[in-house]
Amino acid sequence: VIGHPKYQESKRIAIFLSMPDEIQTEEIIKDIFKQGKECFIPRYKPHSNHMDMLKLSSAEDISSLTLTSWNILQPSDDDSAREEALAGGGLDLIFMPGLGFDKKGNRLGRGKGYYDTFLERCMKHPSGKPYTIALAFREQICESVPVAENDVQVDEILYEDC
């Protein structure tokens, strides 16, 4: 990931805080700050499909986040001090999680459409749609995954031995 050309050229990067069954992102987050890039993480709104990407100030900032009922760390709902990516300069790159992927770039998420809805908003932002890279285990690559018309394909899937 760290040697990837899209990562190298990106300045504003959104990345998920990994759950135990996902590719672990902690070292990538540390490198984002080491390289002097800006790091944004998701804040999901419950009972909706709305998600914002909010800026972290440092890798250590993660310890100040709130644990949601889904067991995901994220900025609290009343945290209004953080920059929201689309209120500022947009994003260059988004690292995305998922449950399954196919080689056409289709992604099976957890069913709420948070990333698809967020990418739709990105497409309306002056900076345009960021490059998207899904981080996966080889076992998550399928022949095909079910898609709906509002599902947005990922630009690239990185997994072991790809």
Q: In the beta sheet, which residues pair with residue 53?
A: 42
Q: Is the pLDDT of residue 60 over 80?
A: yes
Q: What is the pLDDT of residue 150?
A: 85
Q: What is the pLDDT of residue 160?
A: 79
- Residues placed in the known binding site: 17, 22, 107-115
Mean pLDDT of 120-130: 93
Amino acid present at 6: K
- Residues placed in the known binding site for substrate: 17, 22
Which residues form the domain of 63?
Answer: 5-158
- Our count of domains for the chain comes to 1
84-110 pLDDT, tens digit per residue, is 999 999 999 999 999 999 989 999 988
Residue 70: other Cβ atoms inside 10 A: 10
Amino acid present at 150: N
**Lookup result for tokens 């300045």:** 11
Residue 4 contacts residue 28 (beta carbons within 8 Å): no
What SS3 string covers the chain? CCCCHHHHHCCEEECCCCCCCCCCCHHHHHHHHHCCCEEEEEEECCCCCCEEEEEECCHHHHHHCEECCCCCEECCCCCCCCCEHHHCCCCCEEEECCCEEECCCCEECCCCCHHHHHHHHHHHCCCCCCEEEEECCHHHEECCCCCCCCCCCCCEEECCCC
- Residues placed in the known binding site for ATP: 107-115
Residue 74 contacts residue 17 (beta carbons within 8 Å): yes
Pairing type for strands 100-102 and 141-142 reads parallel
128-154 pLDDT, tens digit per residue, is 999 999 999 999 999 999 998 889 999
CATH number of the domain that residue 106 is part of:
3.40.50.10420
pLDDT band with cut points at 50, 70 and 90 for residue 77:
confident
Q: How far is CA 67 from the centre of its chain?
A: 17
